[in-house]
Amino acid sequence: MTAFILNITFECRDPLALGQFWAEVTGYTVDPEANELRTRLTKSDPRGVRHLLFQKVDEPRQDTRIHIDLAAPEPETEIERLIEFGARLEDPRDADGRPAWRGNAEKGWVVLRDPEGNEFCLG
């Protein structure tokens, strides 16, 4: 038998708020026992990652080399939706001052950050 990924864990300052952000992003369900110390999201589909776990830590966030890559059938529409929920574009403007991802999202990866500054990509 092989090991499997049970959770992807985010260490964060506000597990409830960050958990709700990622629930909106992914469609995962917030566990009814979620609280200010620990919030878990669950996906009922048995394929892929089943849980995202948000766990309170008091020390400052440390940069990590791990991040989440998202895919969407309409990337530009999805970017706008994520921004409405609190995501920030890593480099939001091109040389002309226009949103850098407009017209480019389907051609490559767009780097965003969640409300606590964790990097994720959409492509």
Choice between 101 and 24, residue whose per-residue pLDDT is larger: 24
pLDDT grade, residue 41 (50/70/90)?
very high
Mean pLDDT of the chain: 82
Task: Tell me what the mean pLDDT of segment 44-71 comes to.
Answer: 79
| Total domain count, the chain | 2
| 54 and 92 both lie in a single domain | no
Bridging pattern class, strands 110-113 and 119-122: antiparallel
- CATH code for the domain of 80: 3.10.180.10
Domain holding 95, by residue range, is 67-123
Q: Are residues 81 and 50 in the same domain?
A: no
Residue 103, pLDDT > 60, answer no
Residue 44: give its domain's CATH number.
3.30.720.120
pLDDT score recorded for residue 49: 78
Is the same domain home to 73 and 114? yes
* pTM, to two decimals: 0.75
Q: Is the pLDDT of residue 95 over 80?
A: no
Specify whether 5 is located in the same domain as 50. Answer: yes
Across the range 13-22, mean pLDDT stands at 95
Q: Are residues 35 and 78 in the same domain?
A: no
122/102 same-domain check: yes
CA distance 120 to 27: 16
Residue-wise over 69-80: b if at least 16 C-beta within 10 A, else e? ebeeeebbebbe
pLDDT confidence band for 34 (50 / 70 / 90): very high
